[in-house]
A and B are shown apart, each in its own frame.
Chain A
């Protein structure tokens, strides 16, 4: 149950009292992560609001991040943005990850045969983070980018991951996690999310409509290692022009096959 330990925010707060834990390192990465989820460069004031760090602390951390080459300061606006060096971090992860490598051709094939957007995401703390995203059509720039995070309890893949945990563990998790609404349709009531996860446990797949993006419908299946869900394989279509029943009938079996092919033990 290692994943759920990682989900326990109370324990994560406990790390702050851990003498071996380097607070300034954690804060530096908090700055990087705040910039990662923001569209456009950020001022120190905006960073301060997002990270709960003071401006003097942020000046110190951004100086180091600029020195190390991950962040740059726009000379005209004095706002901070990420540099191409962040892509090195992604490459250092992907280039060693055999699971990600093994999954890629399956996903390419899935996208070709189904003609819909395909993705693979893995759990990271309270989120699912995209490892691979294969957009169905060319106009869809943002949907081609890996590294985006979606809250675990709203993401279809995240609900698959949670569905493989004991029900009481999930219930406890939902009671203590902050549930952010990404769209007006996002479920925020823990009981309703728990019901969705229960349904996913029974059916073996999760279906999410409009909860993560207002016009989108997603179906996801878990890839397993033993009894733990290590990733979710998802197919995405615009709601407009796609009927739920027809979508499930068309993509469920191929998505299940790929998630099985990527499961082990």
Chain B
């Protein structure tokens, strides 16, 4: 559950409260798309304004927050780019997948991505430049609910039943578009279908006009590592034969990645 701020200071006799509070202040930007005032950050983290102010002051000095144009509000700063590099350069899955994703993108003329499960969300890890989608920033770090994203459904279908049920139960079902499935029977059915077909499919459930197919990356040890996604305009997926061909392509890429040494 990424978007809550449990009051767990009590367990933290060992740790640093000031650091935890500052990290919580920084996390408020994941709930929101705009710039925030100190008061906004205080409200969302249930800290006093003066406490949030102290965090903000230090975070700005360290480059993790920057002033927005109007000077009264803040946005995440450029220091936020650094830690992800450390994670990504040590990520064997992404390293193994990158050539296959580039190859797949080229072969089908649509952008291929990689995502992993994190709590009840999937999070995109790849950043493949493609001719097709010049106008959108590559979604490295983008999160979607696992129950609605095709990659989430592919991962859920590949997981043991108990784990799958646990994640589905913990998921917050909410409409993202008018097409988002929010009832458990339909979601379970979509996951069952993914299991039967070998790839998962969603249409316009997270972005209007966009559909995707996805297949889970399962290692030689049986562990589910993530999923390969092909996403593009709905029209490309309309015809069931076309869709099946794209589905087969993600299955093949996911199998090739799964055969690599991932741990």
Contact = CB atoms under 8 A, between A and B. Distances in A.
Contacts of B24: 68
Interface in B130-175: 130-131, 134-135, 137-138, 140-143
B30 A88 contact: yes
A100 interface: yes
A147 B59 contact: no
A86 B84 CA distance: 5
A109 B90 contact: no
B116 A84 contact: yes
A89 B58 contact: no
A60 B15 contact: yes
B77 interface: yes
A82 interface: yes
Given A61-B19, A87-B140, A147 B29 contact: no
B20 A64 contact: yes
Interface stretch (A17-25, A170-178, A208-216): A17-25
A236 B89 CA distance: 19
Interface string A4-41: 00000000000100001110111111001101111111
B55 to A, nearest CB: 7
A93 B134 contact: no
Interface stretch (A44-52, A133-141, A156-164, A183-191): A133-141
Contacts of A145: 85, 88-89
A92 B29 contact: yes
Contact of A87 (B35, B79, B90, B125): B125
Contacts of B29: 92, 96
A169 interface: no
Contacts of A82: 83, 86-87, 90
Given A26-B58, A122-B78, A146 B99 contact: no
A91 B12 CA distance: 28
A95 to B, nearest CB: 7
Q: How large is the interface on A (under 10, 10 to 19, 20 to 34, 35 or more residues)?
A: 35 or more
Contact of B80 (A39, A67, A92): A92
B82 interface: yes
Nearest to A41: B90
Interface string B81-107: 111111111100011001100110000
A26 B55 CA distance: 10
Contacts, number: 218
Contacts of A38: 86
A39 B85 CA distance: 10
Given A89-B83, A147-B84, A104 B137 contact: yes
Nearest to B79: A124
B231 to A, nearest CB: 17
Interface residues of B, number: 67
A83 B22 contact: no
Interface in B35-53: 35
Contacts of B59: 25
A63 B12 contact: yes
Contacts of A125: 63
A93 B140 contact: no
B71 to A, nearest CB: 13
Contact of B8 (A29, A67, A90): A67
Nearest to A102: B137
Contact of B83 (A35, A101, A109): A35
A124 B20 contact: no
B84 to A, nearest CB: 4
A95 B137 contact: yes
Contacts of B127: 144, 146
B242 interface: no
Nearest to A103: B137
Contacts of B26: 89, 92
Contacts of B83: 32-33, 35-36, 70, 82, 86, 89-90, 147
Nearest to B77: A93
Contacts of B22: 22, 25, 28
Contacts of A25: 16, 18-19, 22, 55, 58-59, 62
Which of A21, A92, A96, A129 has the largest count of B CB atoms less than 10 A from its CB?
A92
A170 to B, nearest CB: 21
A124 B61 CA distance: 12
Contact of A94 (B2, B23, B89, B140): B140
B84 A87 contact: yes
10 contacts: A20-B58, A28-B16, A41-B90, A85-B118, A87-B88, A88-B141, A96-B35, A104-B138, A147-B82, A147-B85
Given A21-B61, A33-B83, A87-B88, 9 more contacts: A25-B55, A25-B59, A67-B11, A68-B23, A89-B80, A90-B80, A90-B84, A146-B84, A146-B140
